[in-house]
Chains A and B, each alone.
Chain A
């Protein structure tokens, strides 16, 4: 089954304790992206990647890092989490621009993170 898999689905942590949210897709998609969803603010893009070793900032990148060493994986790293990073996080992927199906993002099921 074609899917985007995120882990963990739920996590409670404390301020300053580094954590990584993994994201993996099995559709051979070039494009991957991370979003956070907060009440009243919709989906805001954190970072995205057009292909392996190519990453760029989205609208709210502060406090986050990403890497794209392999095509299928796009982990989100919080080096020193703070309470304002408590949110619902989504990873998504799609084919590259210009190809059939480009822009049609497939989303993971979400990771709910609480930072105390």
Chain B
């Protein structure tokens, strides 16, 4: 099936640093979502994007729907220890009524 390439796979950063991660696809998507999974919990929606070029913030998090509609980016500014977890991108292919496709996740570790 269709796949999303999410990178990096994992990140080890110092508290206070900024973080960037991204997802790319080989085809056009009409929805991009970013989820965070805390250890031992289910994924929780962080940001939803519905238009090419859209830039949306949620506190220290900012996500963008790429202008080509084939990618999306998530940035976290001034990381704190509770940012630890796995971040997933998810998208819905353009023209499709089908299911969301998930990236494999970026595991973030924050050193105090």
Contacts and interface: CB of A to CB of B under 8 A. Distances in A.
Partners in one complex: yes
Interface of A: 4, 33, 35, 40-43, 45, 48, 58-59, 90, 92, 97-98, 103-110
B78 interface: no
Given A103-B92, A110-B41, A41 B99 contact: no
Chain B: number of interface residues, binned into ranges: 20 to 34
A60 to B, nearest CB: 10
B45 interface: yes
Contact of B41 (A43, A59, A103, A109): A109
Contact of B97 (A45, A58, A97): A97
A109 B42 CA distance: 4
B43 A90 contact: yes
A59 B48 contact: no
Contacts of A40: 104
Contacts of B76: none
B43 A42 contact: no
B26 to A, nearest CB: 17
B33 A103 contact: yes
A106 B45 CA distance: 8
A107 B43 contact: yes
Contacts of B85: none
A50 B65 CA distance: 27
Interface string B83-112: 000001010100001011011110000000
Contacts of A105: 33, 43, 45, 90, 100
Contacts of B67: none
B108 to A, nearest CB: 15
B104 A58 contact: no
B43 to A, nearest CB: 5
Given A42-B102, A43-B102, 20 more contacts: A33-B99, A42-B103, A42-B104, A43-B43, A43-B105, A45-B99, A58-B99, A59-B1, A97-B97, A98-B97, A103-B31, A103-B33, A103-B100, A104-B33, A104-B48, A105-B90, A105-B100, A107-B35, A109-B41, A110-B42
